[in-house]
Amino acid sequence: MKTSRTPLFIFLASLLAAIVCRPSTTAEIGEWQLVWSDEFETEGLPNAQWWDYEEGYIRNEEAQYYTVAREENARIENGSLIIEARRDNFEGRPITSASLHSSRSASWTYGKIEVRAQLATGRGTWPAIWMLGDNIGEAGWPGCGEIDIMEYVGYELETVYGTVHTTAYNHVANTEVGGNLQFDDLTETMHSYSIEWSPDEIRFFVDDQNYFTFTNDGTGNDATWPFHRPQHLKLNLAIGGGWGGSQGIDNAIFPARFLIDYVRVYQRKESPPYTIDLQSSGPGNLRVEPEKESYVDGEQITLIADPDIGTRLGKWKNVQVPRALEVPLVVNRSLQIQADFLNPNALNRNTDFSDQLSGWYNWIGGGAAANIAATSQEAALIDVTQSGSEDWHVQFGQGGLPLESGKRYQLQFDASASSGSPSLVAALAMNSEPFTTYTSNVTQLTSSPLTFTLDYTHNTVTNPNTRIEFRLGRAAGSVTLDNVTLRSLDDDALSPYEAWKRDHQIRPINDTGDPDSDGTPNLIEFLLGTDPYQVQAYSPFYSISPSREGPLLSLSEMLLPAAAEHQVSTVEEKSEDLQHWARSENAEPSLKFKRLALRAPAAIAD
């Protein structure tokens, strides 16, 4: 048998993406550069990295219930995103549709936003392509600013509208400003709807025809120009409501379809050098390698997301990279990169208010008065200016949470009072009539933030629509809430490998660590079922077999069953310099070095 002189290695890694930032077009200084896009080329649900969903009956007294990740209402088919409104009585809701948004994955300050779409037809339809300020939780609407790139109501068959809403100019005050344009085929063919947004103005276009321009008055007043902050994109198909339903809803329109061919976002190419600003929310940290004050155009970096023990990466924001803990990126502009980290065992969403008040509701009545907003420190502030006669006259909470019969649950939250000495009622209750309270606890708050816990066993029928409810109707003062988490004490959302790392106090990214220095890294210790802190006799965990192309590397047979069970993949790679590696089937046969790469599924969560 011939012996090979090709050196062999074993290599473990989190899934390091083989591609870089998706928009890859080059541009000259001052020209439009593609920075974000979705061409809707992969059939099925929209890409979960790029899009999230609104859920429920959201605004304008519209007739539709917005669903989450339901292909009947939002899917990619034949190269287009289809948002479909249906009269299907889904879970007791007569009409369903979808509203997609990019608030967790992308927002922009200035640029060209272009969406090519074919509009839904029929009386009662109300499709829209629009933008909202990321600071809506803090500034509210219309203070955050709204840019309606395209709105259409089905009873005006040939007219599309472009509008802006601010504190000074909005439809509630009947002071909104905008323009419109007429076409005779809006529901029969695709048209391009876009804006060009600069510090001085926002220009509105259909098929490159500029039909309205909103100009910055230069006063520096947010009431008239709040458009100097990031805005995210929304795509939705509403049915009925104050405008879309003002002439009723024609039952013959269903199913109504809003087709989007692509979304493309451009920004002006600036001169290098470029900077990278990293921001994270939730339990984890971000870093970049190499870490430098500035970068040249075309320089490659690696973004590294490091979730805390027992948690996961949620989404990258403002860069289109794969959902992985380590991703390469080519720098071609200054970037503000964000990522959120999530506790997968939390039944509720936006637990740390890093997405402002998204997913949380409030209700005020019984003569009480309160202001509720997200703070710049990513918490919820409830300022009760006038108390009511019952605790439930001021409510803040989140619904749609499942409680299963016989299971144990724990509600945990941080709370403090910045003024007054208010009492807080924390409860778990039905999220629909008769709003029965399952359990509650009264807590007296102090100026120092404290962590509170409410344990509960659900000894009644399963309810898929429970809610967390904080009641402050009798409390005069300001209360801050943060880190609100409802979790099951009987279930674990982590995979076996994630749970193993959590139980051994190993961070999710650390597959290659070797705490006991016995030559066996964490991932292999897990597959072997051994203790990462107890030295084991070393045994090779790969095998070598001959072939015409040289030695082949493979995982040892004793590890194969565990690797298959836990979806650990193996790939043989080759290199010339030990720095740049390629899959063996794609590499030159003459390359000197080989390694076997083991990759566990990345710790990511929606």
- Which amino acid, 47? N
Task: Name, in order, each residue with C-beta under 8 angstroms of 544's C-beta and a sequence gap of 6 or more.
Answer: 8, 551, 552, 553
Among 54, 84, 146, 469, which one carries the catalytic annotation? 146
Question: Is 151 marked active-site?
Answer: yes
Nearest CA among 391, 471, 50 for reference residue 232: 50
Q: Which two tokens stand for residue 70?
A: 């339901």
Q: List Cβ neighbours of 5 (8 Å cut-off, separation of 6 or more).
A: none
3-state SS assignment for residue 522: helix
- How far apart are the C-alpha atoms of 428 and 438, rounded to whole Å? 6
Quick one: which of 115, 120, 59, 119 has its CA closest to 85?
120
Residues in the chain: 606
Q: How far apart are CA 192 and CA 211, in angstroms?
A: 13
Q: Rounded to whole angstroms, how far apart are CA atoms 125 and 482?
A: 39
How is 538-585 classified by DSSP, letter by letter? ---SEEEE--TTSPEEEE-TTTHHHHHHTT-EEEEEEESSSSSEEEGG
Q: Which residues of 42-52 are buried (b: 16+ CB within 10 A; e: fewer)?
A: eeeebbebbbb
Q: Tokens 């090519």 sit at which residue?
A: 116
Which one, of 149, 80, 145, lies nearest residue 113 by Cα?
A: 149
Q: Which positions ≥6 away from 272 have C-beta within 8 Å?
A: 294, 295, 296, 297
Q: Is 146 tagged catalytic? A: yes
Q: Does residue 88 come out as left (phi exceeding 0), alpha (psi in the -120 to 50 range) or beta?
A: alpha
Report how far residue 239's alpha carbon sits from residue 65's, in angstroms, rounded to the nearest whole number: 9
- Three-state SS for 134-159 is CCHHHHCCCCCCEEEEEECCCCCCCE
Contact 329, 301 (CB under 8 A): yes
- The answer to whether residues 407 and 490 touch, using CB atoms and an 8 Å cutoff, is yes
Among 193, 177, 111, 180, residue whose Cα is nearest residue 142: 177
Choose, from 54, 62, 84, 151, the residue flagged as catalytic.
151
**Phi-psi sector, 295: left (phi>0), alpha (psi -120 to 50), beta:** beta
Q: Tell me the two tokens of residue 462.
A: 């399963």
Strand ordering across the sheet containing 276-281:
276-281, 335-342, 312-317
> For residues 98 and 257, is the Cβ–Cβ distance under 8 A?
no
Give 473: exposed, middle or buried? Use CB within 10 Å, 0-12, 13-18, 19+: buried
Is the Cβ–Cβ distance between 456 and 438 less than 8 Å?
A: yes
Backbone angles phi, psi at 524, to 5 degrees: -70, -40
Catalytically annotated residues? 146, 151
